[in-house]
Amino acid sequence: MNPEKSPETAQLIYGGKTYELPVVEGAEGERAVDISRLRKESGLITLDTGYGNTGACKSAITFIDGEKGILRYRGYPIEDLAEHSTFLEVAWLLLYGELPARGELDTFLEEITQHTMLHEDYRRFFGFMPKSAHPMPVAAAAVAALSTFYREADTEDRIYRAVVRLLAKMPTIATYAYKHSIGQPPMYPRNDLDYASNFLYMMFGTPCEEYSVDPVIARALDLLLILHADHEQNCSTSTVRLVGSSLSSLYATIASGISALWGPLHGGANQKVIEMLERIALEEGSADLFLERAKSKGDTTRLMGFGHRVYKSYDPRAAILKETCKEVILAVGGSSRLLEIAMRLEEVALSDDYFVSRRLYPNVDFYSGVIYQAIGIPVNMFTVMFTMGRLPGWIAQWIEMRNDPAFRIGRPRQIYTGPQERPYVPREER
Ligand code: ACO
């Protein structure tokens, strides 16, 4: 659906002239001032550091109402998808706009299953990485390296093949990176297992003994992937759009999204959450004490997994995960100590004026780490799990961008604050 041109306009008065700026309205009533002709007509650009008020594109993929805590993929509430769908079904929905018909889904699953293996030459790539390397840069480099093995996704058919390859190979890449880091041989994928079960098998299986996947854990993992599958124009997705807008390779473009996701203020937060909970458990033991530090102006400590640029109420994904957390811990018989600390932190924070007045609530990362830990995923793999989930969203956004009739290379402007022109100082005079 194309955004409506609203009959309203916004007026900008500058330099004694009034500029009429068109207002566009999205499907859910959100409005934007269209400034695409502003510089041409008035010489002005807009300044919005961190892009908090800037719409970079029109998109029909994901809708978020951060005030009300709403998240929908292609119109479907995240709660319904979490309850009824599977990750690959959701991937199709994000990529192609509709829930797949049964035949479409069967073919898609079949094709993904057929492409899970990595080329044997490519396997050697992992051997060149230091064992101590964090799996995120290894995953980013490995995905970029796919572009050295496969042709550019430059036709509809090749794009479909690249989509299948990326979705199929990502769990294999992730587990190869992990197995290399612990000095174990990688496990080949198994075509008789579903997506999440196959990942768990490659992650925890060894050639020495049979590994059987617990269906409760496989379902929890599939759910986590669904909840991470897209989140409109966040840091990594905007990176994917920006890099992709230069018509760079899809594989290299996705690698740039992985790099952006790695940071602790974005996807890396789930790792930081568990480190924070463990630190509280070990050193301080008190949620209240930690919160005092997070609130203190002179202290850089933040309550990790809390706050969000868009959600100014409870992140709906965190609400779903809080319940899943309890189920998983019950199923694996794991320790609930970290979950208890997390719930206590949440309880205290949500009744504290500092967090309430700034509208800081748990985000998706607050509980996801507790689940990953309960199912035995090592902490440095948490963000890799997020990467697997976000993959279809990144690709869907990339496809949408390429098909946009208004497509052009991304190129923000700036307000220059450096020195004005000055004479060059020769080396001997400095
Ligand atoms: N703990 C303590 N104080 C916080 C927190 C937090 N987690 N988050 C924000 N604040 C405070 C800030 O200090 C600031 O206070 P001030 O107004 O007194 O200066 C105010 O709340 C606003 O914070 P900003 O940093 O301006 O908010 P912004 O929208 O830029 O940042 C962000 C959002 C990065 C997510 C931030 O809330 C944060 O750092 N959270 C912790 C990291 C985290 O959980 N990241 C994961 C996000 S979800 C995701 O990417 C998948």
3-state secondary structure of 228: helix
Residue having the nearest C-alpha atom to atom 30 of ligand 1:
309
pLDDT digits (tens, 9 = 90+) for 290-312: 889 899 988 888 999 999 988 99
Query: Residue 282: pLDDT band by 50, 70, 90 thresholds?
Result: confident
Measured in Å, residue 304 CA sits from the centre of ligand 1 at: 8
Residue 417 lies in a domain: no
**AA identity, residue 341:** I
Same domain as 290, residue 237: no
Residue 340 lies in a domain: yes
Domain interval for residue 353: 269-375
Active site residues: 308, 365
Residue 330 lies in a domain: yes
- Comparing 189-203, 206-220, 284-298, which segment has the lowest mean pLDDT? 284-298
DSSP code string of 40-99: HHHS-----GGGTT------SSEEEETTTTEEEETTEEHHHHHHH--HHHHHHHHHHSSP
Same domain as 229, residue 89: yes
Q: Does the beta carbon of 71 sit less than 6 angstroms from any atom of ligand 1? A: no
This prediction has a pTM of 0.91
Nearest-5° angle of CA 143, CA 373, CA 301?
Answer: 90
Same domain as 361, residue 281: yes
Q: Is the dihedral of CA 354, 355, 356, 360 positive or negative?
A: positive
Q: Does the beta carbon of 365 sit less than 6 angstroms from any atom of ligand 1? A: yes
Residue 427 lies in a domain: no
d(CA 146, CA 165): 9
Two tokens, residue 324: 């899943």
Same domain as 334, residue 352: yes
- Comparing 20-29, 33-42, 223-232, 295-304, which segment has the lowest mean pLDDT? 295-304
CATH number (domain holding residue 46):
2.20.28.60
Burial class (CB in 10 A: 0-12, 13-18, 19+), 189: buried
Measured in Å, residue 358 CA sits from the centre of ligand 1 at: 9
Asked whether residue 44 carries a pLDDT value surpassing 80, the answer given is yes
Two tokens, residue 341: 């600390």
Residue 424 lies in a domain: no
Beta bridge partners of 128: none
Residue 226 lies in a domain: yes
Same domain as 196, residue 339: no
Q: What is the mean pLDDT of the chain?
A: 92
Q: Which residues contact 285 (CB under 8 A, 6 or more apart)?
A: none
Query: Residue 270: pLDDT band by 50, 70, 90 thresholds?
Result: confident
Per-residue confidence (pLDDT) for residue 285, from 0 to 100 = 63
CATH number (domain holding residue 122):
1.10.580.10
Residue 422 lies in a domain: no
Same domain as 350, residue 237: no
Measured in Å, residue 126 CA sits from the centre of ligand 1 at: 35
Same domain as 260, residue 152: yes
For residue 273, the ligand 1 atom closest to its alpha carbon is 44
Q: Does the beta carbon of 303 sit less than 6 angstroms from any atom of ligand 1? A: yes
Same domain as 39, residue 83: no
d(CA 244, CA 11): 34
* Percent of the chain scoring above 90 in pLDDT: 74
Same domain as 393, residue 370: no
For residue 315, the ligand 1 atom closest to its alpha carbon is 48
Q: Does the beta carbon of 308 sit less than 6 angstroms from any atom of ligand 1? A: yes
Pocket test for ligand 1, best of 225, 261, 309 (most atoms within 8 A of CB): 309
d(CA 408, CA 172): 34
Identify the domain boundary among 357, 375, 393: 375
Q: Does the beta carbon of 293 sit less than 6 angstroms from any atom of ligand 1? A: no
pLDDT digits (tens, 9 = 90+) for 385-397: 999 999 999 999 9
**Count of domains forming the chain:** 3
Per-residue confidence (pLDDT) for residue 23, from 0 to 100 = 96
Per-residue confidence (pLDDT) for residue 2, from 0 to 100 = 59
Same domain as 193, residue 137: yes
* Radius of gyration from C-alpha coordinates of the chain: 23
Query: Residue 54: pLDDT band by 50, 70, 90 thresholds?
Result: very high
Q: What is the mean pLDDT of residues 412-425?
A: 97
Residue having the nearest C-alpha atom to atom 37 of ligand 1:
307
Residue 97 lies in a domain: yes
Does residue 232 come out as left (phi exceeding 0), alpha (psi in the -120 to 50 range) or beta?
Answer: left
Q: Does the beta carbon of 269 sit less than 6 angstroms from any atom of ligand 1? A: yes
Per-residue confidence (pLDDT) for residue 335, from 0 to 100 = 64
Asked whether the beta carbons of 241 and 401 are under 8 A apart, the reply is yes
Two tokens, residue 246: 């230069």
For residue 309, the ligand 1 atom closest to its alpha carbon is 29
Q: Does the beta carbon of 311 sit less than 6 angstroms from any atom of ligand 1? A: no
Two tokens, residue 295: 């609130």
Same domain as 124, residue 214: yes
Two tokens, residue 348: 């205290």
